[in-house]
Structure 1
Amino acid sequence: MTETAAAADWQAWQRSWDRQQEWYLPDREERFRAMLDAVEALVGPEPRILDLACGTGSISDRALRRFPKATSTGVDLDPALLTIARGHFTAESLFRAESRVAFVTADLRDPEWTRRLPHRHYDAVLTATALHWLRSEELSVLYGQVAGVLRDGGVFLNADHMPDPATPRINAADHAFQKERQARDKAAGTQDWVDWWETAARDAALAGPVAERFRIFGNPADGDHADGEVQSAAWHARALRDAGFAEARAVWCSVSDAMVLGLK
């Protein structure tokens, strides 16, 4: 790590990422709480966690604070977000002291991505607001791979955009309500996705990783890089059962989002 990167305030970048995400997801902390409640209920308070499409490590950060004997492996392809994650956890002595967290660079569309993991099996695989970037057929394959890295009795939780197509009027009303809230918050100075990346690109410590990130995914200012599909919670539950999970169901929801749990 360069001297410039070493001097960066990674906790500040972590906080700014959280604020930007909360602009889209005002109930973000609630879903994290529900996620970790389910982990504790099903696999106990000392889980070995795989943080899938981990970004800056938001799930790992909350899990390791809640569970003092937990460990976590974060997996992502984004070099800029992984730079923030590694910097944040290196600077945070709570996690550094016992090497409780590690990060792996991998593309979840690579059929060999699980070979990069430091452990064969995990107690819990957790992800939030990430897998909607994948096409439905890619996600079905990924669910099978997730089942393969979970121990028997292990748990998978995916919190993401999962609107119910059977309620179009409810969906439209909530969409309009959220857009009005976002407009108010943005007028008050909250950064959206594009604003946040523009700020990161101007930062000396992140300019290189952000440029690399733009080469991989494209610049957010030029449009959405994702080619994914959004499916209902019921679709995700069926896909998990088809992938080998013994049980699967939604365990939390808002109008537009849901969290589906699969039990191995």
Structure 2
Amino acid sequence: MTETAAARADWTAWQTSWDRQQEWYLPDREERFRVMLDMVEALVGPEPKVLDLACGTGSISARLLRRFPGAVSTGVDLDPALLTIARGSFEGESRAEFVTADLTDPEWTTRLPHRRYDAVLTATALHWLTNDRLRILYGQLAGVLRDGGVFVNADHMPDVSTPRINEAERLFRNARQEREKAAGVQDWEGWWREVAADPVLAGPAAERFRIFGNPSDGDHADGEVQSAAAHAGALRAAGFGEARTVWCSPSDAAVLALK
């Protein structure tokens, strides 16, 4: 991509449209981020070295650096379109860098610029992994964090023990989403159609579809979800000293693990 082409991209607009699309699914998304960063400050202080895992467009990094001027962030993702938006948005920001890496590659941690991090943060991403792959990843993250370091995973974590509550929440959520979609809010598929039509992002989007599949066909269809309790147990088994839920909604949760 040439500098001339890159200059035509409105990275702020892309970040805003990404946030609005994600909020269609997660109306309390900002509250999750606040709790995540509260826990980072409480456990490792206001100048953390952070690994933004499966970073997408850099949503966590943006909020991290805005809140903590002394923080630094490494964003890691495989998606070429989302990384293009992230790199364009953070151009000139010395506190942030972005690495292309596949989290299913056993050697992905060798691509990181730092040997140890104070915190690893991720949101709405790891449900794309199978449970077996997730357990392997948790073991790798225990090796990336320093002693006393913190990991937070905020994601879809349903509790199968409450089927009536889950069904009521699902119906309520679907009704809200239908109202908002009728009012013009983009969903996942609509957002990606807009990305693919953009002259700057069309190439990275085509590569993204080759890697992950087309959103209309159920990209990342092999992933699995687990309860927050299952995540906490897997993290303790991976070598973390403590792990528990620090935030939850009816369908999502944030699990924190301390090295």
Query: TM bucket by the smaller chain?
Result: over 0.9
Residue 175 of structure 1 deviates from its aligned partner by 0.5
Match of 1:149 among 144, 147, 158: 144
Hey, what's the Cα distance between the residues in 2 that align with 1:111 and 1:166? 34
Query: Structure 1, residues 80-108: CA drift from partner, whole Å, max 9, x if none?
Result: 00000000111xxxxx35x1000000000
Residue 6 of structure 1 deviates from its aligned partner by 2.4
Q: Name the amino acid aligned to 2:20.
A: R
Hey, what's the Cα distance between the residues in 2 that align with 1:69 and 1:129? 26
Runs of 4+ in 1 over 6 A off after TM superposition: none
Hey, what's the Cα distance between the residues in 1 that align with 2:233 and 2:224? 16
1:16 — aligned with what?
17
Query: Structure 1, residues 208-249: CA drift from partner, whole Å, max 9, x if none?
Result: 000000110111112233311110000000000000000000
Assess if the C-alpha contact under 8 Å between 1:162 and 1:256 holds in 2.
yes
* 2:247 is aligned with 1:247: no
Assess if the C-alpha contact under 8 Å between 1:143 and 1:243 holds in 2.
yes
* 2:200 is aligned with 1:200: no
Hey, what's the Cα distance between the residues in 1 that align with 2:208 and 2:242? 37
Hey, what's the Cα distance between the residues in 1 that align with 2:67 and 2:52? 15
1:53 — aligned with what?
54
1:263 — aligned with what?
258
Residue 171 of structure 1 deviates from its aligned partner by 0.6
Assess if the C-alpha contact under 8 Å between 1:104 and 1:116 holds in 2.
yes
| Structure 1 unaligned regions, length at least 5 | 91-95
Hey, what's the Cα distance between the residues in 1 that align with 2:6 and 2:212? 23
2:45 — aligned with what?
44
Hey, what's the Cα distance between the residues in 1 that align with 2:227 and 2:79? 26
2:155 — aligned with what?
160
TM-score by length of 2: 0.98
Q: Name the amino acid aligned to 1:253.
A: C
2:208 — aligned with what?
213
- Secondary structure of the residue aligned to 1:239 is helix
Match of 1:232 among 227, 231, 243: 227
2:134 — aligned with what?
139
Hey, what's the Cα distance between the residues in 1 that align with 2:148 and 2:218? 41
Hey, what's the Cα distance between the residues in 1 that align with 2:248 and 2:242? 18
Hey, what's the Cα distance between the residues in 2 that align with 1:60 and 1:39? 13
Hey, what's the Cα distance between the residues in 1 that align with 2:142 and 2:256? 12
TM-score by length of 1: 0.97
Hey, what's the Cα distance between the residues in 2 that align with 1:185 and 1:147? 40
- Secondary structure of the residue aligned to 2:90 is helix
Match of 1:118 among 113, 135, 140: 113
Assess if the C-alpha contact under 8 Å between 1:248 and 1:263 holds in 2.
yes
* 1:46-125 map, 5 Å: 46-90=47-91, 96-97=92-93, 99-125=94-120
RMSD: 0.7
- Secondary structure of the residue aligned to 2:159 is coil
Assess if the C-alpha contact under 8 Å between 2:212 and 2:219 holds in 1.
no
Hey, what's the Cα distance between the residues in 2 that align with 1:255 and 1:208? 38
Aligned length: 258
Q: Name the amino acid aligned to 2:132.
A: E
Q: Name the amino acid aligned to 1:48.
A: K
Hey, what's the Cα distance between the residues in 1 that align with 2:52 and 2:168? 33
